[in-house]
Each structure stands twice: as structure tokens, then as C-alpha cells.
Amino acid sequence: MDAETVDAVVIGMGPGGEDVAGRLAEAGLSVVGIEAELVGGECPYWACIPSKMMIRAAGLLAEARRIPGMAGASTVTPDWAPVAERIRAEATDTWDDTAAVDRFVGKGGRFVRGRGTLVAPDRVEVGDQAFVARRAVVLATGTAPSIPPVEGLADTPYWTNRGAIRATEVPARLIVMGGGPVGAELAQVFARFGSAVTVVEAADHLLALDEPEAGAVVADAFRADGIDVITGVGATQVTHADGGFTVALADGRTIESDELLVATGRRADPAGLGAGVVGVADDARWVPVDEQLRVADGVWAVGDLTGKGAFTHVAMYQSAIATADILGQDHEPADYAALPRVTFTDPEVGAVGRTEADARDAGIDVAVGVAQVSATIRGWIHKADDEGIIKLVADRSEGVLVGATSMGPSGGEVLGLLTLAVHARVPITVLRTMIYAYPTFHRGVEEALRDLDL
Ligand SMILES: Cc1cc2nc3c(=O)[nH]c(=O)nc-3n(C[C@H](O)[C@H](O)[C@H](O)COP(=O)(O)OP(=O)(O)OC[C@H]3O[C@@H](n4cnc5c(N)ncnc54)[C@H](O)[C@@H]3O)c2cc1C
């Protein structure tokens, strides 16, 4: 197949690839951007943005239900129709990426719809077209849902995040398999819109990668929302008959639902992309990258595919570094020590850097400080929905924070201060002399600092 030579080829135009491709095109390079589905990737069409619209709507319902005892009386009648319509019209343009394609082409890029394969370090094939990249190939193909090998599951019409986001009706009963961020966020949304939701999580607490205290507070909040939370038990078999699902659990119980959402993590497919031609092992889960996001000479990778954190902000952070590296510009190497992440449950769970267990495993001399949001003055004022914690994980010998969790109302916003502290290694002595506005939620950080034994 004859190949056309260009400066750069980007495979996968999600948040990472779209950003790299656009930046390179704006810098004057000839860039081919290849996308199999929709330019913009998972985030705007089936993930971050529509899920946060659902959460905003569910949060309004929850807030209205808190009026009794605090501000009068309320009657709440949930209606999913405006949520589904907002996702269709405002978030996804009916799952149409014309505007995103035009944006890329407007920057000078050339767009090719199709599934790209790396066939040599500098050569990409897509359908009956082939491109040779003079300067860079960027791999940015993201992840797909990881489906566990539960007996019978593959033969059923289960939802992944895509089915949940496209829902035009709220199921009467919903089982959510997986109590990580995606499962937890969507479980609470559907419960607040009237679904009888059961969450099944094989680990012994929800949000298994976060502090156990955070998972426990979320579980309590879920039970208050009427969600049945089952932890420490996996599903062993799934069947679908007469429009309903039956899930058998390892402890012998069976549960039933009208829809089943599988949210048990994500997986990349480096081998399917052809990454073997640059030395990536066939069974590799991710494409290994160095601090410049390089995979091999002339090949870079960004986003979920790199396994450095499946977040849009990671993809975009990496894309800025990869772009600078490709253009020969100065840049700081990638550093994930202060990687922030927010699970937008209610209460919100913000976290940055290491958890306590992770810090201990790394051999750090750990000190921990905790404040309960409900015991802060702002939590007490807030009253309804004041559950949460601020937990600080410090390196005693260095006198700095290496991780933190800020969970509670606006927990993801309070996290900004803690992310800066971890990122800039602000000495704890300096954090303790800062003035914290009264009565904010972030004053809880000052109380947690006081609790730190150092
Ligand atoms: C329900 C849900 C909610 C989320 N919420 C948040 C959130 O609130 N905040 C946050 O930061 N992150 C969130 N995420 C994660 C976020 O969506 C991802 O981290 C982000 O989309 C990753 O971007 P990416 O560019 O690496 O890949 P993707 O968005 O996965 O895009 C990769 C693109 O590559 C394309 N592709 C794959 N293979 C090929 C090929 N061979 N050729 C051509 N194209 C190909 C795919 O079609 C896709 O469009 C959420 C995820 C889910 C599932």
C-alpha cells in the first residue's frame, strides 16, 4: 500500500489525542488525526460530562429533599426526561462530533475516520490508507470497559457506562457491579431518580483505591439514599430472562434487577493497536512511557493507554508534555506525585497523592491527621449532608504532605488547596501558619493539620 508522508499521525482522538493533534497542527505541522468513533473520545459523550450533568440533576433532587427541618416543606417529583434531553442536546449533540472534527480541521489538521494500526514505528494504516510520520506517531487510544469473566454475563444485554449514559428511562431496579468511581457515581444518580439500586463490590469497601474511611462514609450515604450496598462479595453467575437480570453472589444470595450496569474497571488494548512493533509486550496492560511520554524513537503515548491514571486531566497534562517534546520545546518531565482525583458522589471524595496504606507500603515515615467535616463550624452550620472527612498523610521526616483526602460538601474543590500543598511540597510548618477563611469547608484542613502528630 502506498503511503503518504506527513509530520505527525495521532491514533485516537479522545481528550489526549485531540489535544496533541490540535496543538501540533496549530504549531504548523502536517497532522493526521485518526478516530474510530467520535472525536472527543469517551469523556464528552459517555463519561465525564454527561455523568456530571446527571449528578448535578440528582444533586438538585437530594438538596430539595433536605428542605424539611431546615427551610420548610418540599415535594420532589423526579423526572428523567430533562436529564436525558440535556445529555442528548447539550452534551453530545446526539452523539455527533461534527463540531469537534471542524475544530480540529480549523486548526489545520487532517481528519481520517477509521481504526488505525501501527504497522511499523513510523507507519500507520487505516482502512486502505497508509501514512508515514516524519516526526511523530502519537498513540492515544484510551480504554474500554473491562468485563469480568462471570459465568453467563457475556450473553446478557448488560449496560456499560455507555448504556447508563444513553438511558432514556430510569430502571425500576438496577444492579451495579463494581463500587469504584464510575459505579458509585451512577448508582447514586439512578437511586435518587427512584431506581431500587444494589451495588455489588468484591473488595471490602467502596472506592477500593481510596482511603477506607472515605468508602465507609460513601456507603453510609448510599444507605441513606436507599441503596443496598454489598461489599466483600463477588458475582458468580448472571442470567437474563423475561427482561430481567438475576445475579448470583459468591455467598449464595441471588439478586434481581431490570438493568445491570457493569462498572468493574477499564482496560487498554496495546496489542490490538499494533504496539508490539515498538517493543510493547503482547500481554502488556498499558503502553509504557518515560517522563517525556516517549514509547520509542518517534513514538509517544498519552492518556488512559499509559496506565498513569484514567482521568481526562492526566490525558491533557500528558498531551502538553508530549507536544512540547515533539516540537523540541523545553518542558518539565511528567510527575504524578500530586495526581488529584475526584469521585463526584454526594459527599464528594477528593484525593491527591498517596493514601495512608500506600505511603506506609512505600516505606515513608507516616503521620496522619484527620478532621470530621461535621465537627467543623461550617459542617455544623450546613447540618443536613455534612458527612465527610479531611485526612492528611504526611512524611514525618520531610515535613510535607504526600497525600490527602478531602471528602464532604465541595470536597473536590477543597482538594485544590491540598493538591497545591502536595505538588509544591509546602512545608507543614508553612501550612500551619496560613490564614483559613471563616467559616469555610477548607478550614477543616487547618483542624486536620492540628491533628497531625508532628
Ligand atoms: C462514566 C465515566 C465517568 C468519568 N468521569 C471522569 C471525570 O469526571 N473526570 C475525569 O478526569 N475523568 C473521568 N473519566 C475518565 C475519562 O473519561 C478518561 O480518562 C478520558 O476519556 C481518557 O482520555 P483518552 O484520550 O486517554 O482516551 P478516550 O477518551 O478513551 O479516547 C480514545 C479514543 O480513541 C479511539 N480509538 C481507540 N482505538 C482506536 C484506533 N485503533 N484507531 C482510531 N481510534 C481509536 C476511541 O474511539 C476513542 O474515541 C470518566 C470515565 C467514565 C467511564
- Residues 136 and 170 reside in one and the same domain: no
- Residues 309 and 347 reside in one and the same domain: no
Q: Tell me the C-alpha distance between 165 and 177, whole Å.
A: 16
Q: Residue 413 maps to which CATH number?
A: 3.30.390.30
Q: Is residue 306 part of a domain?
A: yes
- Residues 424 and 282 reside in one and the same domain: no
Dihedral over Cα of 338, 342, 343, 346: its sign: positive
Q: Is residue 63 part of a domain?
A: no
Question: 42: CA distance to ligand 1 center in Å?
Answer: 4
Specify the ligand 1 atom closest to the Cα of 266.
53
Total domains in the fold of the chain:
3
Q: Residue 205 maps to which CATH number?
A: 3.50.50.60
Q: What's the one-letter identity of residue 239? A: T
Specify the ligand 1 atom closest to the Cα of 39.
49
Domain that holds residue 163: 153-264
- Residues 29 and 127 reside in one and the same domain: yes
> What would the 3-class secondary structure string for 291-307 be?
CCCEEECCEEECHHHHC
Q: Is residue 179 part of a domain?
A: yes
Specify the ligand 1 atom closest to the Cα of 37.
47
Q: Among 248, 264, 280, where does a domain finish?
A: 264
Q: Among 249, 264, 279, where does a domain finish?
A: 264
Q: Is residue 388 part of a domain?
A: yes
Residues with CB under 6 A from ligand 1: 11-12, 14-17, 34-38, 41-43, 47-48, 51-52, 115-116, 140-143, 161, 182, 273, 303-305, 310-313, 315
Widest Cα–Cα separation across the chain? 73
Q: How many CB atoms lie within 10 A of CB 432?
A: 11
Q: Is residue 107 part of a domain?
A: yes
Of the residues 48, 97, 280, which should be mutated to test ligand 1's pocket, given the most ligand atoms within 8 Å of the CB? Answer: 48
Find out whether 137 and 9 touch, Cβ atoms under 8 Å: yes
- Residues 32 and 137 reside in one and the same domain: yes
Nearest-CA residue for ligand 1 atom 17 is 43
Q: Is residue 91 part of a domain?
A: no
Question: 87: CA distance to ligand 1 center in Å?
Answer: 17
Q: Is residue 278 part of a domain?
A: yes
Cβ within 8 Å of residue 259, ≥6 positions away: 158, 159, 163, 167, 171, 173, 174, 175, 245
The residue whose grid cell reads 502528630 is 453
The residue whose grid cell reads 462498572 is 263
Specify the ligand 1 atom closest to the Cα of 48.
5
- Residues 361 and 281 reside in one and the same domain: no
Cβ within 8 Å of residue 224, ≥6 positions away: none
Specify the ligand 1 atom closest to the Cα of 116.
42
Q: Tell me the C-alpha distance between 351 and 341, whole Å.
A: 5
Of the residues 23, 42, 124, 293, which should be mutated to test ligand 1's pocket, given the most ligand atoms within 8 Å of the CB? Answer: 42
- Residues 221 and 163 reside in one and the same domain: yes
Nearest-CA residue for ligand 1 atom 27 is 142
- Residues 374 and 289 reside in one and the same domain: no
Nearest-CA residue for ligand 1 atom 40 is 115
Q: What tens-digit pLDDT sequence spans the chain (454 residues)?
A: 899 999 999 999 999 999 999 999 999 999 999 999 999 999 999 999 999 999 999 999 999 999 999 999 999 999 999 999 999 999 999 999 999 999 999 999 999 999 999 999 999 999 999 999 999 999 999 999 999 999 999 999 999 999 999 999 999 999 999 999 999 999 999 999 999 999 999 999 999 999 999 999 999 999 999 999 999 999 999 999 999 999 999 999 999 999 999 999 999 999 999 999 999 999 999 999 999 999 999 999 999 999 999 999 999 999 999 999 999 999 999 999 999 999 999 999 999 999 999 999 999 999 999 999 999 999 999 999 999 999 999 999 999 999 999 999 999 999 999 999 999 999 999 999 999 999 999 999 999 999 999 8
Antiparallel, parallel or unpaired: β 196-201 and 228-231: parallel
Number of Cα atoms under 13 Å in the Cβ half of residue 43: 22
Question: 60: CA distance to ligand 1 center in Å?
Answer: 27
Question: Could you give the residue ranges of the DSSP H alpha helices within 72-204?
Answer: 81-86, 98-106, 161-165, 181-192
Question: 270: CA distance to ligand 1 center in Å?
Answer: 15
- Residues 10 and 138 reside in one and the same domain: yes
Q: Tell me the C-alpha distance between 114 and 36, whole Å.
A: 4
Specify the ligand 1 atom closest to the Cα of 38.
49
Classify 264 in phi/psi space as left (phi over 0), alpha (psi -120 to 50) or beta.
alpha
- Residues 357 and 421 reside in one and the same domain: yes
Q: How many CB atoms lie within 10 A of CB 82?
A: 9
Q: Tell me the C-alpha distance between 19 and 313, whole Å.
A: 11
Question: 263: CA distance to ligand 1 center in Å?
Answer: 15
- Residues 371 and 242 reside in one and the same domain: no
Question: 352: CA distance to ligand 1 center in Å?
Answer: 21
Q: Tell me the C-alpha distance between 240 and 169, whole Å.
A: 19
- Residues 353 and 447 reside in one and the same domain: yes
Q: Is residue 199 part of a domain?
A: yes
